[in-house]
Amino acid sequence: MMICVSNLNQGIGEWQANAERMKRAIRKAKTFQDPILLFPELATVGCEAGDMLLRYDTYAKSQQVLQQILAETIGITVVCGTILNYQGKLYNAAVIMHDAKILAWVPKRYADPTVRDDSRWFAAWEFIRHVDIDGIPVGAWNNGVFDVVVGNLSLQPTPVRGTTRLWVTSTPFAAGSYAQRLDKLLAYTMNYQITLACANMMGSPDGTTIYDGSGLILRNGGIVAESPRFVISNDLTLITEKDERPSCAYPSLVAYQNTSSYPKSAEDLYHVEVELALVTGLHDYFKRAHIGHACLALSGGRDSAMVAVLIHRLVTLESRNKTPEEIREIVKNFLVCAYLPSSDASSEGTKQAALALADAIGATCHVIPISDIVSSTRSIVEQQTGRELSWETDDLTLQNLQARTRSSVIWTLANAHNALLLVTSNLSEAAVGYATMDGDTSGGLAPIANLPKTYVSQWLTWARNFHALACLDLVFAQPPSAELRPMEAKQMDEADLMPYPVLDDFIQSYIVQKMDATQTLNHAMPHVASYYHGNMDKLKADLDKFIQMSARAQWKRNRFANAFKVMAYDLDPTSDLRWPILQTV
Segment 122-176, tens digit of pLDDT: 999 999 888 999 999 999 999 999 999 999 999 999 999 999 999 999 999 999 9
Q: Are residues 313 and 199 in the same domain?
A: no
Q: Please report the pLDDT score of residue 19 as a whole number.
A: 98
Last residue of one domain, picked from the residues 492, 520, 537: 492
Question: pTM (2 decimals)?
Answer: 0.95
Asked if residues 19 and 68 have their Cβ atoms less than 8 Å apart, the reply is yes
* Backbone phi and psi for residue 445, each to the nearest 5 degrees, phi listed first: -150, 135
3-state class (DSSP) for residue 54: helix
CA distances from 270 to 458, 563, 567 (A): 11, 20, 11
Q: Are residues 285 and 162 in the same domain?
A: no
Q: Is 220 exposed, middle or buried (0-12, 13-18, 19+ CB in 10 A)?
A: middle
Last residue of one domain, picked from the residues 245, 277, 293: 245
Q: Are residues 206 and 270 in the same domain?
A: no
Helix 302-318 × helix 453-466 angle, to 10°: 50
The conformation of residue 109, written as its DSSP 8-state character, comes to B
Q: Are residues 315 and 360 in the same domain?
A: yes
Asked if residues 554 and 540 have their Cβ atoms less than 8 Å apart, the reply is no
Dmax (CA) for the chain in angstroms is 85
pLDDT tens digits for range 414-435: 999 999 999 999 999 999 999 9
The domain in which residue 219 lies consists of: 2-245
Q: Please report the pLDDT score of residue 257 as a whole number.
A: 86
Q: Is 57 exposed, middle or buried (0-12, 13-18, 19+ CB in 10 A)?
A: exposed
Q: Please report the pLDDT score of residue 130 as a whole number.
A: 86
pLDDT band for position 361 (50/70/90)? Answer: very high
- Domain containing residue 370: CATH number: 3.40.50.620
CA distances from 325 to 305, 311, 316, 360 (A): 21, 16, 11, 11
- Domain containing residue 225: CATH number: 3.60.110.10
Q: Are residues 189 and 279 in the same domain?
A: no
The conformation of residue 233, written as its DSSP 8-state character, comes to S
Q: Please report the pLDDT score of residue 115 as a whole number.
A: 78
Q: Are residues 111 and 241 in the same domain?
A: yes
Residue 303 lies in a domain: yes
Give me the sign of the Cα torsion angle 455, 460, 461, 465. positive
pLDDT tens digits for range 29-52: 999 999 999 999 999 999 999 999
Amino acid symbol at 285: Y
How many domains, in total, are found in the chain? Answer: 2
Task: Please report which residue ranges of 389-529 form alpha helices under DSSP H.
Answer: 395-416, 427-432, 453-466, 472-476, 493-496, 500-506, 517-528
Q: How far is residue 536's CA from residue 557's CA, in Å, rounded to a whole number?
A: 30
Asked if residues 367 and 338 have their Cβ atoms less than 8 Å apart, the reply is yes
Q: Are residues 305 and 241 in the same domain?
A: no
Residue 504 lies in a domain: no
Last residue of one domain, picked from the residues 444, 467, 492: 492
Q: Are residues 81 and 172 in the same domain?
A: yes
For β-strands 35-38 and 164-168, DSSP reports them as unpaired
Q: Are residues 117 and 166 in the same domain?
A: yes
Residue 279 lies in a domain: yes
Asked if residues 370 and 402 have their Cβ atoms less than 8 Å apart, the reply is yes
For β-strands 136-138 and 141-142, DSSP reports them as unpaired
Residue 553 lies in a domain: no
3-state class (DSSP) for residue 168: strand
pLDDT tens digits for range 480-524: 888 888 888 888 999 999 999 999 999 999 999 999 999 999 999
Asked if residues 125 and 156 have their Cβ atoms less than 8 Å apart, the reply is no
Residue 538 lies in a domain: no
Residue 534 lies in a domain: no
Q: Are residues 321 and 235 in the same domain?
A: no
Q: Please report the pLDDT score of residue 8 as a whole number.
A: 98
Q: Hey, which residues does 93 pair with through a beta bridge?
A: 82, 107
Q: Are residues 234 and 275 in the same domain?
A: no
Residue 537 lies in a domain: no
pLDDT band for position 290 (50/70/90)? Answer: very high
Query: Would the pLDDT of 411 be above 90?
Result: yes
pLDDT tens digits for range 229-240: 999 989 999 999
Residue 564 lies in a domain: no
Give the 3-state secondary structure of 384-397: HHCCCCCCCCCHHH
For β-strands 35-38 and 77-86, DSSP reports them as parallel
Query: Would the pLDDT of 97 be above 90?
Result: yes
Q: Are residues 221 and 319 in the same domain?
A: no
